[in-house]
Amino acid sequence: MRMRKILLAEDDARDIELTLAALEEYNLANRVVVARDGAEALDYLYCKGKYVDREKIDPIVVLLDLKMPKMSGLDVLREVKHSKELRKIPIVVLTSSKEDQDIVESYGLGVNAYVVKPVEFEKFAEAIRQISLFWILTNEPPPVR
């Protein structure tokens, strides 16, 4: 069986480190591909640019920050959920934004979950653990395309 990756679309180095540390507890950190902006996330999903030769297996889940350079998380979400080939990939927005507009727009675009990043490390790690328990270990993802 081929290993499904987790795509972490995040530009903040500290949040990347915290997310990987939290996933390490479940031995999942080795399954994470980090995209540092929205354009790189789409390149990964569409197997373009530096990802042109990657194995064409959709990630098990995308952890998506909203505030990123080059292309925002909302733009990535819009693109993925309007793509016939990608729309089934579960996307969890993982962001610092509590703005009603971001929440409403994310759900309107088809996000699967919206999680506000806690500021304290322990609470952040617990949020990542809960996300991983459900989306990575419990949820039955769409079959490999």
Q: Are 71 and 39 within 8 A, CB to CB?
A: yes
pTM value?
0.92
Question: What are the pLDDT digits (tens) for 66-95?
Answer: 999 999 999 999 999 999 999 999 999 999
Instruction: Tell whether the model's pLDDT for residue 22 goes beyond 90.
Output: no
Domain 6-137 falls under CATH 3.40.50.620: no
Q: How far apart are CA 119 and CA 141, in angstroms?
A: 29
| pLDDT confidence bin for 125, thresholds 50/70/90 | confident
Residue 50 has what DSSP assignment?
G
Average pLDDT, the chain: 91
Segments making up each domain of the chain, as ranges? 6-137
pLDDT of residue 2: 61
Query: Of the candidates 65, 64, 60, which has an alpha carbon nearest to the alpha carbon of residue 136?
Result: 60
Query: What spatial distance separates the first Cα and last Cα of the chain, rounded to whole Å?
Result: 13
